[in-house]
Chain A
Amino acid sequence: MELAIPVEQWSGAVGTVTLGATAEQGGTRRRTLTLGGESTLPFLRLEGAIPNPPALAMEVLDASPEKWPEPLRAPFGNVLDDPAAWAVKCVEEFGADAIVLRLVSADPQGQDASPEQCAETVRRVLQAVSVPLIIWGCGDNDKDNLVMPACSQAAAGERCLLGTAVQENYKTITACALADGHLVISEAPLDISIQKQVNILLTEQGLPLDRIVMYQVTGALGYGVEYAYSILERTRLAALTGDKMLSMPMLSVVGSEAWKAKESWLDEPKWGALERRGILWEAATAALFLHAGSHLLVMWHPEALRLVRAMLTALQPA
């Protein structure tokens, strides 16, 4: 007797978003990156098409990460105090699909770098690499509202992804994206309703659905990640059942979350070799978010990225 495998027919699909613009499109990228577009659950090709595989971005900080543990610093050699060189290494040596430039230097509690200084870093990184760029503010709303317009202008036409828009602060970044042809990260505090609310606010500002990437602030493995999983999964299911306002591709921050976990850096021999622990923590967290439906991961350690890439290849149909 033949076994009929039940196949779910979804009424909706995840929307597509393309990062980066080539010369013909008004930018200078040699590669663009398209996310989303699938009409099925992650890796479940049986029920629908998955036109674009998940992508792996690497994060570059514009201020040298003094507190990084040695196993995390080691692979980068001497580029950690040069964002452009760091970005080049990520792309050429480690195979990152995109670069996240995190403007930590702008933090008023820290270096308090000026908008002009940040914009200059953006220009340098754009010149150094040819993959799409994700420009991420320092997290201080008032400062980001000064920094983001300068950076957005410096990258005008490049179709960068700007981050992040939150419910309390979304207007400036949206206006930048609209003025300079960029995309926006819509951030929510691990809440599906608030995610949708931010998306609605962005679209009501005039930003089209195909210029929004969703981001739920999660923890890493061991830190309530089960709940994060279910939120991402439910968001994906909402898209597949036709909820346009939750149909955008999703981004997950893996590196900084995984390395925040003490399991990644605490010198505790009983927990296993310190050189591998953080890498595995990051890779496991990444694998989990991919299975939950995330489209774009922000990674830190090149070895973790390599492990995840291997997993994606293994799950790719022959």
Chain B
Amino acid sequence: MSRVRVRFEPEGETTEGEAGALLLDLAAKAGLPVRSDCGGRGICRSCHVEVRSGRIRRLDQDGAEETVAAACEVLACQTAALTDLVVYVPPEVRLCPTGEEVAGYLGPGAAALLRPPARGFPLGQRLALRLPPPSFDDPTPDWERLARALREYLGEDRPLVCDLGLLRRLPDGLRVHDFALSATVVDEGDRHRVIDVGRVGGRAALGLAVDIGTTTVRVELVNLGTGQVLGGAAEFNAQTRYGEDVISRIIWSQEHAGGAEDLRRAVVGTINNLVERLLRQAEARRQQVVAVSVAGNATMICLLLRLPADTIRRAPHVPPVGQPPYLSAASLGLLAHPEAAVFCLPAINGYVGGDITGGILASDLAQRDELSLFIDVGTNGEVVLGNREWMICCSCSAGPAFEGMGIEAGLPARPGAIESLVYDRSSDTVQVRTVAGEPPVGLCGNGLVTALASLLEAQVIDRVGQLMSDYPSPRMRQVEGEWQFVLLWAEETGLGRDLVLRQSEIDNLIRAKAAVYAAVSTLLEVLGLTGEQIERLYLAGAFGSHLDVAAAMKIGLLPDLRPERVTVAGNTALMGAYLALLSSTARRQLREIAQATTYLDLSSVPRFMEEFVAALMLPHTELERFPSVVARGSSGVVS
């Protein structure tokens, strides 16, 4: 098989591969991964690229071969390179870092877990020790000598273990440093493990807090001694190319030979890319990373561990494990010290995972007297209601619309993504604010929420989200039988083409918001509570941290609450992972939270479907549930 070289424009990144390789794979290899919302099935057209020269085979055209003369738009997942190629990757097609991580909210109770003595032990730590040298009076062997000193230092009597490699290194290690040394110890719950010995005053022990989202993976590099966050980075979960939601990925892992390994490798690759970048920025080494805590839903954890995830999909939706035992980084293939301890935040069940347990811990919901509602809007929406006495949670499938997928104009919150959009009816103009002030290339979740609220207010759409086809503006148009509204004209964008919102995409957004709201209202209904009784609302998820709360209430994504009751909590999953990295008390509390939280299966509650349909209106069919929205008079409601 001959080799081909493909150059990706505009960066000019070049990669080599075998003739016949898909552009989708070659782009990933070149470090320019592209979107593939449908998992490479040629359905979604989200991976469209432009071939500028070379010879290609079109799988979507019965394998037809063609030599490209003029630039030709193709789907990267359906096009194979036969010769050297030049390919242009448009900005909206790229999967790329979503920028700096936003710190999440930490309740006062959770913050207290970071201070000794409440915090207990970090997941990994480096301890400086001075051992008495052996003598005829004290002939204790080397390992027991180290263990004795460590136990004394740690002030407890859990067993200490190590592996053969350490035993082999230990005699020299002790003597080279004259019995003054640093020992790296990781906490494995029921025991401590010594994974390294070295000189005193070496490089600091570092840890990774990892949030594996279905769509986005985020990592923070943390100094385990000080708790200082040395850096954070985020990237699309490379598993996205195997399906955009957990169910389609589980199916992929089951139905393709080596599918589970593909998925494992994809997410490990994403994490390692981020870790590599963070280590480079911090000028740190892989061997320094001695602890990793991972928050993710049960499916994400299963796929990371390459456990069969099929049982999550099938009733009664039992995951293979709620909380995996402490594992080593090497066994998972993570870029860290091979024996670094990996702690996975415990899941409540197959659909409410460690990301939510982490969020409950970080937000203090489980410690407060007042009734609180916790909402994490991601590809799945999870909702927790409760206080220190009781907690109940549920999960709904919101779809990836709010993360910018499944909508052509959708994007994650990265430079150029519109985070706020206001349309003015009288002047027929649009005002946008973009991330980093760059030319607009698409809308992130909050951009979509504000756009929807604004189009409703301007009566471009009606209360069920239908575009008013008789709306007096050239922005309203019909293309291939579907109505669409032009948000920005080509020249106003960084795309070179009109940025539009189609009827089907608006319908998608409304279904997503209805699923989230219906989950909330069903929980309240089941418990006989009303929205006014909610004293605090924590809004989690990266989407939550950018959310315009007033606009979200206007479209009925969130219940109508007074703004002062809303806490935008940001990425609480990552905060939960951070707490778990630094505190054994936090790790214990996470387990308690996972055990104490009741799960309500919405599919078993007939009411949910009715609540969902009722929530398909903007803001809601029961307008009286949104008094402040109606009072603001977003449109003339007759009642």
Q: Is A89 an interface residue (CB 8 A)?
A: no
Evaluate contact between A197 and B616: CB separation under 8 angstroms.
yes
The segment from B170-178, B462-470, B554-562, B591-599 found at the interface with A is B462-470
Q: Beyond A200-B621, A245-B639, is A193–B464 a contact (Cβ under 8 Å)?
A: no
Evaluate contact between A204 and B635: CB separation under 8 angstroms.
yes
B615 to chain A, nearest CB (A): 8
Q: Is A225 an interface residue (CB 8 A)?
A: no
Q: Is A167 an interface residue (CB 8 A)?
A: yes
Evaluate contact between A193 and B623: CB separation under 8 angstroms.
no
Evaluate contact between B610 and A204: CB separation under 8 angstroms.
no
How distant is the Cα of A37 from the Cα of B382 in the complex, in angstroms?
Answer: 44
How distant is the Cα of A171 from the Cα of B467 in the complex, in angstroms?
Answer: 12
Evaluate contact between B616 and A193: CB separation under 8 angstroms.
yes
How distant is the Cα of A200 from the Cα of B621 in the complex, in angstroms?
Answer: 8
How distant is the Cα of A302 from the Cα of B210 in the complex, in angstroms?
Answer: 74
Within 8 A of B (CB), among A151-168: 167-168
Identify the closest chain B residue to A195 (Cβ).
Answer: B621
Residue among B621, B623, B636, B637 with most chain A CB within 10 A? B621
A201 is contacted by which of B462, B623, B636 (Cβ under 8 Å)? Answer: B462
Q: Is B638 an interface residue (CB 8 A)?
A: yes
How distant is the Cα of A263 from the Cα of B610 in the complex, in angstroms?
Answer: 32
How distant is the Cα of A245 from the Cα of B463 in the complex, in angstroms?
Answer: 14
- Residues of A within 8 Å of B464, CB to CB, are 167, 197, 201
Evaluate contact between B463 and A197: CB separation under 8 angstroms.
yes
A203 is contacted by which of B610, B614, B616, B638 (Cβ under 8 Å)? Answer: B638
Evaluate contact between B621 and A204: CB separation under 8 angstroms.
no
Interface residues on A, range: 10 to 19
Q: Is A82 an interface residue (CB 8 A)?
A: no
Identify the closest chain A residue to B466 (Cβ).
Answer: A168
Q: Using an 8 Å CB-CB cutoff, how does the interface string of B345-385 with A read, 1 for contact, 0 for none? A: 00000000000000000000000000000000000000000
Q: Is B617 an interface residue (CB 8 A)?
A: yes
Q: Is A303 an interface residue (CB 8 A)?
A: no
Q: Beyond A171-B470, A193-B621, A245-B639, is A204–B614 a contact (Cβ under 8 Å)?
A: no
Q: Is A194 an interface residue (CB 8 A)?
A: yes
B614 is contacted by which of A168, A193, A244 (Cβ under 8 Å)? Answer: A193
Within 8 A of A (CB), among B602-619: 610, 613-614, 616-617
Which label, helix, strand, loop or mixed, suits the secondary structure of the A interface? helix
Identify the closest chain B residue to A172 (Cβ).
Answer: B470
How distant is the Cα of A206 from the Cα of B638 in the complex, in angstroms?
Answer: 8
B462 is contacted by which of A194, A196, A204 (Cβ under 8 Å)? Answer: A204
Q: Beyond A193-B610, A245-B639, is A201–B621 a contact (Cβ under 8 Å)?
A: no
- Residues of A within 8 Å of B616, CB to CB, are 193, 197
Evaluate contact between B617 and A200: CB separation under 8 angstroms.
yes
How distant is the Cα of A191 from the Cα of B612 in the complex, in angstroms?
Answer: 12
Residue among A168, A194, A244 with most chain B CB within 10 A? A194
B117 to chain A, nearest CB (A): 55
- Residues of A within 8 Å of B635, CB to CB, are 204
- Residues of A within 8 Å of B639, CB to CB, are 244-245
Evaluate contact between B613 and A200: CB separation under 8 angstroms.
no
- Residues of B within 8 Å of A191, CB to CB, are 613
- Residues of A within 8 Å of B610, CB to CB, are 192-193
Evaluate contact between A204 and B463: CB separation under 8 angstroms.
yes
How distant is the Cα of A208 from the Cα of B637 in the complex, in angstroms?
Answer: 11
How distant is the Cα of A174 from the Cα of B370 in the complex, in angstroms?
Answer: 48
Please tell me the number of chain B residues within 8 Å of chain A, measured between CB atoms. Answer: 18
Evaluate contact between B636 and A204: CB separation under 8 angstroms.
yes
Q: Beyond A168-B466, A244-B639, is A200–B614 a contact (Cβ under 8 Å)?
A: no
Evaluate contact between A200 and B623: CB separation under 8 angstroms.
yes
Evaluate contact between A194 and B470: CB separation under 8 angstroms.
no
Evaluate contact between B463 and A196: CB separation under 8 angstroms.
no
- Residues of B within 8 Å of A193, CB to CB, are 610, 613-614, 616-617, 621
Evaluate contact between B463 and A194: CB separation under 8 angstroms.
no
Identify the closest chain A residue to B639 (Cβ).
Answer: A244
- Residues of B within 8 Å of A206, CB to CB, are 638
B613 is contacted by which of A171, A194, A208, A209 (Cβ under 8 Å)? Answer: A194
A198 to chain B, nearest CB (A): 9
How distant is the Cα of A201 from the Cα of B638 in the complex, in angstroms?
Answer: 10
How distant is the Cα of A168 from the Cα of B469 in the complex, in angstroms?
Answer: 11
Within 8 A of B (CB), among A172-228: 191-194, 196-197, 200-201, 203-204, 206, 208-209
Residue among B462, B613, B635, B638 with most chain A CB within 10 A? B638
How distant is the Cα of A193 from the Cα of B609 in the complex, in angstroms?
Answer: 10
Identify the closest chain B residue to A167 (Cβ).
Answer: B464
Identify the closest chain A residue to B623 (Cβ).
Answer: A200
- Residues of B within 8 Å of A208, CB to CB, are 638
How distant is the Cα of A232 from the Cα of B425 in the complex, in angstroms?
Answer: 40
How distant is the Cα of A61 from the Cα of B614 in the complex, in angstroms?
Answer: 35
Evaluate contact between A204 and B637: CB separation under 8 angstroms.
yes
How distant is the Cα of A154 from the Cα of B636 in the complex, in angstroms?
Answer: 31
B463 is contacted by which of A201, A209, A244 (Cβ under 8 Å)? Answer: A201
B606 to chain A, nearest CB (A): 12
Within 8 A of A (CB), among B447-497: 462-464, 466, 468, 470
Evaluate contact between A196 and B621: CB separation under 8 angstroms.
yes
Q: Beyond A171-B470, A204-B463, is A197–B617 a contact (Cβ under 8 Å)?
A: yes
B482 to chain A, nearest CB (A): 13
- Residues of B within 8 Å of A245, CB to CB, are 623, 639
Identify the closest chain B residue to A202 (Cβ).
Answer: B638
Evaluate contact between B617 and A204: CB separation under 8 angstroms.
no
How distant is the Cα of A191 from the Cα of B616 in the complex, in angstroms?
Answer: 12
B392 to chain A, nearest CB (A): 24
How distant is the Cα of A192 from the Cα of B617 in the complex, in angstroms?
Answer: 13
Identify the closest chain A residue to B617 (Cβ).
Answer: A197
Identify the closest chain B residue to A169 (Cβ).
Answer: B466
Identify the 3 closest CB pairs spanning chains A and B, nearest first. Answer: A193-B614, A193-B613, A203-B638
Q: List 20 A-B contacts (CB under 8 A).
A: A167-B464, A168-B466, A192-B610, A193-B610, A193-B613, A193-B616, A193-B617, A196-B614, A196-B621, A197-B617, A197-B621, A200-B621, A200-B623, A200-B637, A204-B462, A204-B635, A204-B636, A204-B637, A208-B638, A245-B639
19 additional contacts (CB under 8 A) given A196-B614, A200-B617, A208-B638: A167-B464, A191-B613, A192-B610, A193-B610, A193-B613, A194-B613, A196-B621, A197-B463, A197-B616, A197-B617, A200-B621, A201-B463, A201-B464, A204-B462, A204-B463, A204-B636, A209-B638, A244-B639, A245-B639
Chain A contacts to B: CB under 8 angstroms = 167-168, 171, 191-194, 196-197, 200-201, 203-204, 206, 208-209, 244-245
